Each structure stands twice: as structure tokens, then as C-alpha cells.
């Protein structure tokens, strides 16, 4: 089994938990931007699964993170970025995006993200910001 889906919009890295005092207690909560992006991931993943049960075997994941070049860049620099001559070294951090996407896929695509045994991730510039995710169940397509 393999699934593919696209998460539209600018990728968001998983934010650190925030803390708020509630009387005598301190409560941790997920930042709104992170929670909103994770909900978007859940919708895209659930749609791709088409009602299938979460995978229980180990999986391989290929992920491509696409961000748009800054609008302040010249046309030439933008063209270089879109052709791959310039690579994005700006936020969001690649590992934080992966963490947010993986956490959102729990209980939808797989039981838990600990099932991921192989991972290939790229961050590139593109005209349209998005994240593309491919998941292959054990025995599926190799990297």
C-alpha cells in the first residue's frame, strides 16, 4: 500500500508548547499556528486514506517541502531559486515541519510515527508553497 497527498499552503514547523497559568495550575497548549497547520495535514491525510485503517507495519516516507522565494528578490535571483541554483536555508526548519506533519498523521495514516523506519526529505523553492507526502508500507516502493 502507498498513499500520496499534498498539504496546500506555506509549511509550518511544529512550534514549542506554550504555557498558561490556570489558577494554581500551569497548562501546556499548542500554538494556534501549529494547531491550524496540523488540522490541515489531518484533513489531507484522511482524504488520501479514503477510509482505510491506519497502517500497522513499518513505513517509508518521502516528503518534499516547497516554499516560495521572497517577493523582494530580483527576477533573476527568483529564477535561480526556482531552478534549484539557490536552496532555501530559511525557516521553517525542515525537522520541525516533519515533526508537525508526522504528529498530525498519527491515528490516520499510521498508528504512531515511531513506525517510520526510512525518511527522505527535501526543502526547495517553488511558485506554489506546499508539502508533498508519500508513504509506502513495508514492501512498497523503495526510496
Q: Tens of pLDDT along 83-122?
A: 999 999 999 999 999 999 999 999 999 999 999 999 999 9
Q: Tens of pLDDT along 53-91?
A: 999 999 999 999 999 999 999 999 999 999 999 999 999
Which residues pair with residue 67 across a beta bridge?
Answer: 125
Can you list the domains of the chain with their CATH numbers?
A: 2-137 (3.30.1330.70)
Amino acid at each position: 500500500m502507498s498513499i500520496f497527498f499534498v498539504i496546500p499552503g506555506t509549511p509550518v514547523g511544529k512550534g514549542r508548547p506554550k504555557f498558561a497559568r490556570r489558577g494554581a495550575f500551569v497548562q501546556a497548549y499548542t500554538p494556534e499556528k501549529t494547531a491550524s497547520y496540523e488540522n490541515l495535514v489531518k484533513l489531507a491525510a484522511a482524504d488520501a486514506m479514503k477510509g482505510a485503517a491506519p497502517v500497522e507495519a513499518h513505513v517509508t516516507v518521502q516528503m518534499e517541502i516547497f516554499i516560495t522565494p521572497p517577493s523582494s528578490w530580483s527576477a533573476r535571483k527568483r529564477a535561480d531559486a526556482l531552478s534549484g541554483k539557490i536552496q532555501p536555508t530559511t525557516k521553517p526548519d525542515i525537522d520541525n515541519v516533519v515533526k508537525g506533519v508526522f504528529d498530525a498523521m498519527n491515528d490516520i495514516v499510521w498508528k504512531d510515527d515511531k513506525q517510520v523506519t526510512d525518511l527522505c526529505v527535501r526543502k526547495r523553492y517553488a511558485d506554489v508553497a506546499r508539502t508533498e507526502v508519500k508513504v509506502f508500507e513495508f514492501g512498497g516502493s523503495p526510496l
